[in-house]
């Protein structure tokens, strides 16, 4: 009987211990909101010709990798047989104020490259106007030259840690940070 | 508890009462400390002067005893103190004797008789011995478990190795280390168990949910890592294992030092250091696949007949490189990697350095356990443990100066449990217990990356009872468990996702705060789960036995199944969970037919697992982002059926030559859609021939062949994406499994006596002898690179 009694005491003590542990819960602290820093929400390509006509190609995906698709807008026409000075801007607008990621890309120029890829049939050629510290192209600044009137896809790609120098997207490798395709018409 | 008492009462009443001197006394002699049966124990009845020995199973039997008489029974064993006990015969009596077993050999554990199973008598269980564990000292837990039939692994490269039991993994596999359920964020497919293999004495795998005392949600199975045994004797001994490997150009060193006393007191310290550089496929370096692991453990306690107490602490620290070539920025990068079957895009010179992408994991366990034995009743054990798991995952960031991790999770868990084990009668195995657990997950916001797993508090409570009764040739078994889980999460959703999912209509009450583009919600989940097991065993004769086991288990959805809502960077896919998920229910039947003989033993174990509301993740479409197109992988619930068989065969051809053969087959089917289930291990077979010669320094040489068939049953989850370079859509083939492959492994070992206290074992092993290039269907990096090439390892083991 003595065994039973000591056993009972032993058990009661232990059960009480378990319940005490199970019920100890932290206070409800509200977690801090995180604005995604790694995301690029806006890609803007601004083109200007000698006579001051500008064209803007823009793709905005304000929810990042959320369910909403990017909104693509093209303002201004592209004229045939014209030379444009181009600049690309990358922004993260989930942060306030918006973070200009172009600066980051420029700072680490040797680890990045922007590629401009016109589809077959779209009469566009591009030339890089900027270089990284190794003399390889970067692509934030570029010159775009149009040919005869045509239309097709024009893709802007930002690659992180590509092989540099390279012969274009096909052998550049690296990770894709941006890939935006615009349906462009040259008039 | 009530159920358990009833169970005992029923069992006792089964023992009939007879008269005259025709009764028998049967039972087992059991090592008190590890509950293993003792072979060759000598028993004598003083009044009758007859002496017998326990058989190979530790069983004894006296006949022609008089009903109602009391006899004096003397029990002795070479490694134990002799005991004298009085036994009163009441019909055909069953009585088992516990002995204090003092090991004579230092460090060397001689396993005699059949190791006691962890998961009840009818559960299908496989075991890895200390020798098997030590042979894998430089590898991981998953590598070691891969040797067992029915156990395979889901790998991310060669260092993240997750065990898969009969086709199931992650949250469906419960891992118990030294009595503690490991809380190491096991839900993630790229999260390997945070356990130092070298701290294990032996490892058991229960295939299925029959191990009810460990949890009711082990739909796949339970892995039990048993601690090393410490003898009760005055001794100081140690063991050191040094392993050097050519592939990875590294190695490991692990040491255990133990001091024990006759009084039962003991202390043991153990430490492991592993360091590897980049591993190599046959044709190239697998850049950024190195690993650096540092582990330590300490135990101190006292182990007596009537009580025992132990305090322990362990720390596991691992830094793992993730193959650089497997990091892709978009679906197009993935498509490029799959099309390129040659040298991966990122291949650099060999280095020991580990860069992003990588994981840094720290797991700590502090534990206190105690037991008290009450004569003729049983043993009560109490355990409290605190675990802290820190997981840092470093991704390649746009800004390479940014050294913050992309994932920073801290999971803290307090657990307390009380178990009772009935030990008064060896023909009855009965256990009951309760467990309480409280857990907090804290994802650090400093990452600047939206949380993959939200902040949550979780409370678990479980209660179980199980028992088995052995008759002459029959064993019956049954168990019941109830679990309560409560999850209180605080999760930020993207407003667009919350609305696209219709959660704004379904769960408006969960919204705590609207921050514009994101909303803070407070989802709470409560689950009540019942699990049960029932089994039956029959011994046909000394050779053949048959067991059958049924297990019902329920698993609550894990945090990643509930809360995933965005881009999983390293997988280059958008993963979506669902807070509407209900628990998963498994009904599993396992049967095993065994033959045990020194010349030919085998086990054939078929199983059928029917799972309703099985949660799986698969591609459901694609989504346009600024990075291009991403495949969307969505979790869904369906009904599933897994059928399979595990076969183990051992032949002893002659005194020196033995042959082992293993075959594992599993087939998984989504019965709702009538399609195969993704990531089911292909049929595989291992065949090994071993030559042993004790005279030549315990020479042991083996040649092993491992053949993995091609998985021909898989769902078509391919998707199309737009490729800029060609201005066209291409099909990304993520579903076709790689070809079959065949690997040859060699191993040879010799023992040398250094002096009367020390032995040295030298082992040389070669894996993938012919440097075969292959890819494994269950390796998540199969899209990017070949698996490991040839590896030569040299291992020295010193006991002192």
Is the confidence at residue B116, as pLDDT, over 60?
no
Contacts of B399 in chain A (CB under 8 A): 104, 108
Name the strands in the sheet holding A150-160, side by side, starting at the edge strand that comes first in the sequence. A112-118, A150-160, A175-186
Helix (H), strand (E) at residue B113 = none
Q: What is the pLDDT of residue B118?
A: 60
Q: How many residues make up chain A in this entry? A: 187
Strand partners, B255: B240, B271
Helix or strand or coil: residue B352? coil
Q: Of residues B168 and B44, which shows the higher confidence score?
A: B168
Residues of B (384-443) whose Cβ lies below 8 Å from A = 384, 396-401, 406, 414-418, 434-438, 440, 443
Q: Of residues B184 and A23, which shows the higher confidence score?
A: B184
Query: CA A32 to CA B492: how far, in whole Å?
Result: 9
Is the confidence at residue B115, as pLDDT, over 50?
no
Residues of B (724-743) whose Cβ lies below 8 Å from A = 724-725, 727
pLDDT band at A149 (very low <50, low <70, confident <90, very high): very high
Is the confidence at residue B1, as pLDDT, over 70?
no
Residues of B (458-477) whose Cβ lies below 8 Å from A = 459-461
Is the confidence at residue B334, as pLDDT, over 90?
no
**Cβ–Cβ under 8 Å, residues A186 and A122:** yes
Query: CA A106 to CA A114: how far, in whole Å?
Result: 11
Q: Which position has the token pair 């890089």? A: A128
Number of neighbours of residue B64 by Cβ within 10 angstroms: 11
**DSSP of B664-680:** EEEEEEETTTTEEPTTP
Listed in order, the ranges of chain B carrying CATH 2.60.40.1120 are 2-99
Task: State whether residue B330 sits within 8 Å of chain A by CB.
Answer: yes
**Cβ–Cβ under 8 Å, residues B126 and B205:** yes
Averaged pLDDT of chain B:
88
**Cβ–Cβ under 8 Å, residues B629 and B636:** no
pLDDT band at B445 (very low <50, low <70, confident <90, very high): very high
Contact residues for B417 (Cβ-Cβ < 8 A; gap 6+): A18, B381, B382, B383, B433, B434, B435, B436
Choose among B401, B448, B724: nearest Cβ to A181: B724
- Nearest-Cα distance to chain B for A36, in Å, is 5
Is the confidence at residue B748, as pLDDT, over 80?
yes
Exposed e or buried b per residue across B611-637, where buried means at least 16 C-beta atoms within 10 angstroms of its C-beta: bbbbbbbbbbebbbbbbbbbbbbbbbb
- Taking CA atoms, B323 is separated from A126, B278, B288, B327, B703, in Å, by 35, 9, 5, 7, 31
Q: Which position has the token pair 């009845």? A: B45
How close are the terminal C-alpha atoms of chain A, in Å? Answer: 102
B324: phi > 0 → left, psi -120 to 50 → alpha, else beta; which? alpha
Query: CA B112 to CA B108: how far, in whole Å?
Result: 12
Secondary structure letter of residue B95 according to DSSP: -
**Cβ–Cβ under 8 Å, residues B225 and B200:** yes
Choose among A63, A104, A160: nearest Cβ to B494: A63
Choose among A14, A176, A177: nearest Cβ to B418: A14
Helix (H), strand (E) at residue B384 = strand B378-394
The pair phi, psi for residue A9, each rounded to 5°, is -60, -45
Give me Rg for the CA atoms of chain B.
28
Mean local confidence (pLDDT), B443-460: 92
Give me Rg for the CA atoms of chain A.
28
B23-31 and B93-94 beta bridge pairing: parallel
Contacts of A169 in chain B (CB under 8 A): 724-725
Contact residues for B572 (Cβ-Cβ < 8 A; gap 6+): B328, B329, B330, B331, B333, B334, B630, B631
Residues of B (538-577) whose Cβ lies below 8 Å from A = 566-567, 569, 574
Is the confidence at residue A2, as pLDDT, over 70?
no
Number of neighbours of residue B468 by Cβ within 10 angstroms: 22
And the tokens for B61? 């039997």
Least confident of B33-42, B355-364, B619-628: B33-42
Burial class (CB in 10 A: 0-12, 13-18, 19+), A129: middle
Q: What is the pLDDT of residue A55?
A: 94
Mean local confidence (pLDDT), B517-538: 94
Q: Which position has the token pair 């689950």? A: B527
Is the confidence at residue B188, as pLDDT, over 70?
yes
pLDDT in tens, B6-65: 433 333 333 333 346 888 888 888 776 566 778 888 888 888 888 888 887 788 888 888
Mean local confidence (pLDDT), A99-112: 92
Does the bond joining B86 to the residue before it have cis omega, within 30 degrees of 0? no
Q: What is the pLDDT of residue B141?
A: 92
Mean local confidence (pLDDT), A99-103: 93
Query: CA B237 to CA B798: how far, in whole Å?
Result: 11
Query: CA B279 to CA A116: how far, in whole Å?
Result: 37
- Taking CA atoms, B369 is separated from B202, B313, B411, B418, B510, in Å, by 20, 12, 22, 10, 40
**Cβ–Cβ under 8 Å, residues B457 and B566:** no
**Cβ–Cβ under 8 Å, residues B349 and B324:** no
Asked if B497's CB is within 8 angstroms of A67's CB, the reply is: yes
Any idea which architecture B2-99 has in CATH?
Answer: Sandwich (2.60)
Is the ipTM higher than 0.90? The answer is no
Contacts of A155 in chain B (CB under 8 A): 724
Task: State whether residue B300 sits within 8 Å of chain A by CB.
Answer: no
Is the confidence at residue B734, as pLDDT, over 60?
yes
Contacts of A63 in chain B (CB under 8 A): 494-497, 517
Contacts of B416 in chain A (CB under 8 A): 17-18, 21-22
Query: Which residue in A has a C-alpha nearest to residue B325's C-alpha?
Result: A174
- Nearest-Cα distance to chain B for A156, in Å, is 9
Mean local confidence (pLDDT), A29-35: 86
Asked if B626's CB is within 8 angstroms of A59's CB, the reply is: yes
Choose among A3, A18, A22: nearest Cβ to B374: A3
Asked if B461's CB is within 8 angstroms of A65's CB, the reply is: no
Q: What is the pLDDT of residue B12?
A: 38
Q: What is the pLDDT of residue B283?
A: 95
Is the confidence at residue B106, as pLDDT, over 60?
no
Task: State whether residue B623 sits within 8 Å of chain A by CB.
Answer: yes
Number of neighbours of residue B544 by Cβ within 10 angstroms: 14
Contact residues for B32 (Cβ-Cβ < 8 A; gap 6+): B98, B99, B100, B101, B305
Q: Give the Cα-Cα-Cα angle B678, B548, B602 (nearest 5 degrees).
A: 80
Mean local confidence (pLDDT), B549-553: 94
Strand partners, B250: B245
Mean local confidence (pLDDT), B616-633: 83
**CA dihedral in degrees (B132, B137, B138, B141; nearest 10)?**
70
And the tokens for B553? 């288990």
Mean local confidence (pLDDT), A159-181: 89
Asked if A179's CB is within 8 angstroms of B448's CB, the reply is: no
Does the bond joining B628 to the residue before it have cis omega, within 30 degrees of 0? no
Choose among A18, A34, A153: nearest Cβ to B416: A18
Number of neighbours of residue B694 by Cβ within 10 angstroms: 11
Number of neighbours of residue B486 by Cβ within 10 angstroms: 16
- Nearest-Cα distance to chain B for A115, in Å, is 10
Contacts of A66 in chain B (CB under 8 A): 494, 496-497, 500, 566
pLDDT band at A5 (very low <50, low <70, confident <90, very high): low
Is the confidence at residue B765, as pLDDT, over 70?
yes
- Nearest-Cα distance to chain B for A78, in Å, is 21
Asked if B627's CB is within 8 angstroms of A178's CB, the reply is: yes
Pick from B481, B336, B391, B424: which is nearest to B95 by CA? B424
Mean local confidence (pLDDT), B648-666: 95
Mean local confidence (pLDDT), A13-20: 57
And the tokens for A141? 């600044």
The pair phi, psi for residue A105, each rounded to 5°, is -65, -45
Q: Which CATH homologous superfamily contains domain B125-224?
A: TonB-dependent receptor, plug domain (2.170.130.10)
Size of interface A-B (CB pairs under 8 A): 186
* Interface mutation target, options B324, B384, B398, chain A, most CBs of A under 10 Å: B398
Q: What is the pLDDT of residue B101?
A: 56
Mean local confidence (pLDDT), B377-405: 90
pLDDT in tens, B303-317: 887 899 999 999 999
Choose among A26, A34, A178: nearest Cβ to B445: A34
Query: Which residue in B has a C-alpha nearest to residue A176's C-alpha?
Result: B329
pLDDT band at B87 (very low <50, low <70, confident <90, very high): confident
Mean local confidence (pLDDT), B629-657: 92
**Cβ–Cβ under 8 Å, residues B268 and B242:** no
Secondary structure letter of residue B500 according to DSSP: H
Secondary structure letter of residue B78 according to DSSP: T
Mean local confidence (pLDDT), B213-240: 89
B170: phi > 0 → left, psi -120 to 50 → alpha, else beta; which? left
Asked if A30's CB is within 8 angstroms of B329's CB, the reply is: no
Contact residues for B744 (Cβ-Cβ < 8 A; gap 6+): B703, B704, B705, B706, B768, B769, B770
Least confident of B86-95, B402-411, B535-544: B86-95
Q: What is the pLDDT of residue B49?
A: 80
Query: CA B462 to CA B178: how far, in whole Å?
Result: 19
Mean local confidence (pLDDT), A26-43: 81
Q: Of residues B571 and B744, which shows the higher confidence score?
A: B744
Contacts of A182 in chain B (CB under 8 A): none
Pick from B427, B438, B531, B515: which is nearest to B475 by CA? B427
pLDDT in tens, B134-153: 999 999 999 999 989 999 99
Listed in order, the ranges of chain B carrying CATH 2.170.130.10 are 125-224
Is the confidence at residue B434, as pLDDT, over 70?
yes
Q: What is the pLDDT of residue A4?
A: 54
Per residue, the 3-state secondary structure of B358-379, as one string, reads: EEEEEEEEEEEEEEEEECCCEE
- Within a 13 Å sphere around the CA of A182, how many CA atoms are in the beta-carbon half? 25
How close are the terminal C-alpha atoms of chain B, in Å? Answer: 46
- Nearest-Cα distance to chain B for A79, in Å, is 23
Is the confidence at residue B642, as pLDDT, over 60?
yes
Query: CA A75 to CA A185: how far, in whole Å?
Result: 12
Task: State whether residue B1 sits within 8 Å of chain A by CB.
Answer: no
Choose among B396, B624, B626: nearest Cβ to A175: B396
Contacts of A111 in chain B (CB under 8 A): 400
And the tokens for B441? 């997950």
pLDDT band at B699 (very low <50, low <70, confident <90, very high): very high
Mean local confidence (pLDDT), B642-654: 95
What's the predicted TM-score (pTM) here? 0.85
Asked if A64's CB is within 8 angstroms of B625's CB, the reply is: yes
Query: CA B339 to CA B61: how far, in whole Å?
Result: 69
pLDDT in tens, B257-281: 999 998 889 999 999 999 999 999 9
Q: Which CATH class is domain B225-799?
A: mainly beta
Query: CA B192 to CA A39: how far, in whole Å?
Result: 28
The pair phi, psi for residue B173, each rounded to 5°, is -115, 120
Asked if A31's CB is within 8 angstroms of B490's CB, the reply is: yes
Asked if A64's CB is within 8 angstroms of B436's CB, the reply is: no
B173-177 and B759-767 beta bridge pairing: unpaired
pLDDT cut 90: percent of chain A above it: 61
- Nearest-Cα distance to chain A for B493, in Å, is 10
């Amino acid at each position: 009987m003595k065994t039973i009694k000591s056993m009972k005491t032993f058990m009661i003590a232990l059960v009480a211990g378990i319940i005490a542990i199970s019920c100890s819960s932290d206070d409800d602290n509200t977690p801090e909101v995180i604005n995604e820093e790694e995301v690029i929400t806006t890609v803007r390509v601004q083109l200007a010709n000698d006579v001051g006509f500008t064209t803007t190609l823009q793709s905005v995906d304000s929810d990042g990798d959320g369910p909403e698709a990017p909104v693509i807008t093209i303002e201004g026409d592209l004229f045939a047989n014209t030379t444009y000075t181009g600049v690309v801007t990358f922004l993260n607008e989930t942060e306030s104020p918006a973070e200009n990621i172009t600066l980051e890309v420029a700072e680490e120029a040797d680890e990045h490259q922007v590629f401009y890829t016109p589809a077959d049939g779209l009469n566009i050629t591009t030339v890089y106007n900027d270089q990284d510290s190794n003399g390889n192209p970067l692509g934030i600044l570029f010159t775009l030259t149009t040919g005869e009137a045509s239309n097709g896809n024009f893709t802007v790609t930002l690659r992180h840690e590509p092989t540099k120098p390279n012969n274009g997207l096909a052998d550049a490798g690296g990770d894709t940070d941006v890939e935006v395709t615009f349906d462009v018409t040259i008039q | 508890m009530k159920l358990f008492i009833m169970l005992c009462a029923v069992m006792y009443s089964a023992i009939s009462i007879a008269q005259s001197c025709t009764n028998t006394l049967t039972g087992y002699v059991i090592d008190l400390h590890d509950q293993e049966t003792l072979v060759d124990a000598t028993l004598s009845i003083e009044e009758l002067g007859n002496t017998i020995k326990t058989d190979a199973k530790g069983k004894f039997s006296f006949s022609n005893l008089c009903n109602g008489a009391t006899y004096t029974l003397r029990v002795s064993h070479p490694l134990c103190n002799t005991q004298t006990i009085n036994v009163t015969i009441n019909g055909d009596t069953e009585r088992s004797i516990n002995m204090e077993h003092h090991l004579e050999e230092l460090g060397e554990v001689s396993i005699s008789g059949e190791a006691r199973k962890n998961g009840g008598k009818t559960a299908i269980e496989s075991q890895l011995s200390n020798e098997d564990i030590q042979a894998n000292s430089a590898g991981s837990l998953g590598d070691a478990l891969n040797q067992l039939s029915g156990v395979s692994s889901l790998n991310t490269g060669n260092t993240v190795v997750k065990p898969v039991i009969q086709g199931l993994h992650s949250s469906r596999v419960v891992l118990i280390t030294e009595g503690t359920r490991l809380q190491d964020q096991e839900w993630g497919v790229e999260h390997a168990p945070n356990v130092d293999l070298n701290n294990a004495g032996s490892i058991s795998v229960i295939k299925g949910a029959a191990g009810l005392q460990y949890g009711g949600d082990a739909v796949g199975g339970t892995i039990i890592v048993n601690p090393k045994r410490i003898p009760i004797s005055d001794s100081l001994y140690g063991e050191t294992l040094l392993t050097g490997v050519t592939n990875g150009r590294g190695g490991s060193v692990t040491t255990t030092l133990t001091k024990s006393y006759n009084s039962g007191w003991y202390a043991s310290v153990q430490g492991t250091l592993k360091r590897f550089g980049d591993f190599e496929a046959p044709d190239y370096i697998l850049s950024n696949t190195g690993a650096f692991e540092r582990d330590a453990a300490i135990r101190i306690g006292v182990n007596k007949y009537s009580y025992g107490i132990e305090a322990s602490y362990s720390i596991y620290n691992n830094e793992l490189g993730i193959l650089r070539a497997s990091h892709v920025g978009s679906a197009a990068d993935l498509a490029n990697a799959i099309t390129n079957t040659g040298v991966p895009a990122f291949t650099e010179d060999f280095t020991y350095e580990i860069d992003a992408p990588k994981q840094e994991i720290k797991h700590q366990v502090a534990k206190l356990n105690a037991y008290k034995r009450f004569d003729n009743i049983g043993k009560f054990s109490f355990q409290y443990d605190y675990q802290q798991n820190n997981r840092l995952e470093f991704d390649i960031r746009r800004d390479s100066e940014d050294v913050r991790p992309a994932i920073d999770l801290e999971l803290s868990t307090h657990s307390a449990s009380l178990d009772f084990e009935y030990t008064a009668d060896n023909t009855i195995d009965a256990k009951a217990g309760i467990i309480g657990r409280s857990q907090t997950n804290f994802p650090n916001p400093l990452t600047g990356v939206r949380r993959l797993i939200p902040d949550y508090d979780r409370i678990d409570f479980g209660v179980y009872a199980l028992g088995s009764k052995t008759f002459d040739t029959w064993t019956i078994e049954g168990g019941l468990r109830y679990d309560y889980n409560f999850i209180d999460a605080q999760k930020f959703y993207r407003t667009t996702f919350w609305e696209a999912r219709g959660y704004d209509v379904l769960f408006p009450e969960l919204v705590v705060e609207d921050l514009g583009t994101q909303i803070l919600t407070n989802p709470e989940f409560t689950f009540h789960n019942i699990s049960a097991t029932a089994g039956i065993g029959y011994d046909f004769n000394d050779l053949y036995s048959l067991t059958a086991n049924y297990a019902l288990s329920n698993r609550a959805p894990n945090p990643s199944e509930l809360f995933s809502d965005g881009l999983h960077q390293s997988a280059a896919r958008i993963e979506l969970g669902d807070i509407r998920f209900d628990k998963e229910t498994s009904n599993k039947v396992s049967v095993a037919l065994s033959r045990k003989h020194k010349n030919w033993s085998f086990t054939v174990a078929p199983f059928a697992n029917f799972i309703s509301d099985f949660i799986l993740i698969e591609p459901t479409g694609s989504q346009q982002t600024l990075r291009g197109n991403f495949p969307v992988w969505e979790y869904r619930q369906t009904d599933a059926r897994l059928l399979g068989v595990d076969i183990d065969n051992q032949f002893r051809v002659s005194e020196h030559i033995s042959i082992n053969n293993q075959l594992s087959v599993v087939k998984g089917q989504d019965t709702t859609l009538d399609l195969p289930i993704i990531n089911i291990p292909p049929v595989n077979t291992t065949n090994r021939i071993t030559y042993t010669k004790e005279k030549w320094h315990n020479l042991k040489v083996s040649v092993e062949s491992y053949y993995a068939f091609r998985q021909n049953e898989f769902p078509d989850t391919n998707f199309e994406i737009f490729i800029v370079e060609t201005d066209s859509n291409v099909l990304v083939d993520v579903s076709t499994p790689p070809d079959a492959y065949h690997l040859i492994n060699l191993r040879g070992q010799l023992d040398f006596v250094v002096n009367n206290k020390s032995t040295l074992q030298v082992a040389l092993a070669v894996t993938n002898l012919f440097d075969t290039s292959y890819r494994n269907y269950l390796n998540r990096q199969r899209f990017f690179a070949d698996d490991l090439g040839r590896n030569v390892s040299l291992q020295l083991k010193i006991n002192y």
